[in-house]
Amino acid sequence: MLLGDIIRLNGRKTPEKIAVIAGDSIVTFGELNDRMLQVANAMLQLASPGDRIAVLAENVPEYVEMYYGVPTAGMALTFLNYRLHPKEWAWILNNAEATVLVIQAKFVEQVEPLLATMPTVQHVVVIGETTSDTQVSYADVVGAAAAQEPDLDVDEDSTAWLLYTSGTTGFPKGAMLSHRNLIVAALNSVIEYEPQPDERALIAFPLCHVSGYAVPVNHFRGGRVVLTPMFEPGLWMQLVDEHQITGTSMAPTMLNFILQHPKVNDFELTSLRGIGYGAAAMPVEILRAAIARFGPIVYSGFGMTELGGNVLTFPKAAHARAIDGEEHLLSSCGTPMVLADVKVVDEQMVECPPGVVGEMVIRGEQVLLGYFRNEEGTNRAFEDGWFHTGDMARRDEEGFFYIVDRMKDMIITGGENVYSREVEEVLYLHPAVSEAAVVGVPDVMWGEKVTAIVVLRAGMSATEAEIIAVSRDNLAGFKKPKAVVFLDELPKTVSGKIIKRELRDRLAAGTLS
């Protein structure tokens, strides 16, 4: 099965049913099927099967057309994070050797000076108004193409999406996701989460993130998706009530912003049947607040770019158990989904018994093909036939998994291992703490010094001594922060994940203040 088959099937069965809403734009499944085919044929006029077609845009309806249309042409849709620096876009475009760049008009001015450094880019296709003769209009080139099946055979094991990792630990790697990878990832969620045909999903994550796989997940059952240009808490709440949204997903930081919004109780938000969270660890205190505001409709999944979606699920029923007294479950990321094989292993690849921390490894049909033109990275990730996540985790006797930390975020101080997430959870107990990140800073005496970076809630205050005191009251002495830095905001990826590498680098350079 190919990614485009999701739209083909719905286009035949329910052509008049709404598939996508973005502002004033309303697109039916029949119309989306036609646009998908037009995109495929338009790209075949500009490039060849096997090429990479890059897209740089916010959440616009054309993005959804390309989700399906570019892979239908036998090409790989290459995602560019619109929050990156232009030089980072250039690096990805060159690494991917993209032949076509589809770009939203608002970003053209930033890219134009760098086009000479990107020799493989032969065509610049603009969503919106063109500004030079070297550009072509997306509306024109797609509108002129035929809405018919292209004359070529596409292998389900060919790359459909090429997503570059967030680069929180160095240069990004291009994760090659095949049609099969994405179909299995979507099926995994369809089976586990059971989206209904009347589903109305609000896409809060940027479409340039792997979490955009929620689009084909909802389209599988004929549900509609509503796009928001970019995440903003007030707009999110407005759209939920306006479109009677039934489901959405977001990063913990997004949910935290909504809960702290001064008008969070001015909206009804009663149409919501499910709020999924993922992309980063959820602090327990934020989770408690979410359940208190929205009720027992919260669930989560654990996944990553390389998996095309989720492989662990922590459903609403497990959350209900947690708030009914089994509070230890609140820090779990769930149990393996039906189509995924997940375990925790030690350095010799021996499976760890319950309660013992090791690395989480994964096997299944949704695991990426490999990293684009990066044999070393691919071999390292697939050591012993399993995909190595780099996440330190444990499981309990019941089979629930718990992420302890990223391997690279574990702090070794005085010979003791400190898991940063454990310290962060405690920092959130302080009522003035809005966000917190804990990193290790090189130290002559201890090897690494536990350091907390904290963002305070608006209108509230706290001292370094008060923050350290919270840790001292709840953690072993070697785990408590030795220093606290207060910031107005934390650096984040487009998916809301805190960039700890940047915090460590700025601390080392003395520029974090």
Q: What is the pLDDT of residues 354-371, one digit of tens each?
A: 999 999 999 999 999 999
Return phi, psi of residue 215, to 5°: -65, -60
CA distances to 66, 68, 71, 103, 330 from 39, rounded to whole Å, are: 7, 9, 10, 14, 44
Is residue 240 very low, low, confident or very high in pLDDT (cuts 50, 70, 90)? very high
Of 144, 178, 212, which residue sits at a domain end?
Answer: 178
74, 150: one domain: yes
- Residue type present at position 380: R
Residue 203 in any domain: the answer is no
Band (pLDDT 50/70/90 cuts) for residue 168 is: very low
Q: In this structure, are 142 and 249 located in the same domain?
A: no
Boundary of a domain, candidates 360, 387, 406 = 406
CATH at residue 120: 3.40.50.980
Average pLDDT over every residue of 250-275: 92
- Please provide the size of the chain in residues: 513
Instruction: Yes or no: say if 230 and 184 are a contact pair by the CB < 8 Å rule.
Output: no
- What is the C-alpha end-to-end distance of the chain, expressed in Å? 52
Question: What is the rounded CA–CA span in Å between residue 320 and residue 327?
Answer: 10
Dmax (CA) for the chain in angstroms is 69
Q: What is the pTM of this model?
A: 0.83
User: Mean pLDDT throughout 145-157?
Assistant: 96
Q: How confident is the model at residue 281 (pLDDT cuts 50, 70, 90)?
A: low
Which of 178, 212, 241 is where one domain is finished?
178
Mark whether 322 and 419 lie in a shared domain: no
Distance from C-alpha of 465 to C-alpha of 462, rounded to nearest angstrom: 8
Question: Tell me: the pLDDT tens digits for 432-468?
Answer: 999 999 998 887 667 788 999 999 999 999 999 999 9
**Whole-number Cα distances in Å, 301 to 55, 188, 218, 381, 468:** 27, 11, 15, 21, 32
What is the pLDDT, as a whole number, of residue 58? 95
Residue 11, domain member (yes or no): no
Q: Residue 169's pLDDT is what? A: 44
pLDDT tens for 23-35 read 999 999 999 999 9
Burial 129-153, CB ≥16 within 10 A → b, else e: ebeeeebbbbeebbeebeeeebeee
Domain residue limits at 465: 410-509
Spatial separation of the C-alpha atoms in residues 495 and 83, rounded to whole Å: 10
Q: What is the pLDDT of residues 39-84, one digit of tens each?
A: 999 999 999 999 999 999 999 999 999 999 999 999 999 999 888 8
Question: Please, is 69 exposed, middle or buried when counting C-beta atoms within 10 Å of its C-beta (0-12, 13-18, 19+)?
Answer: buried
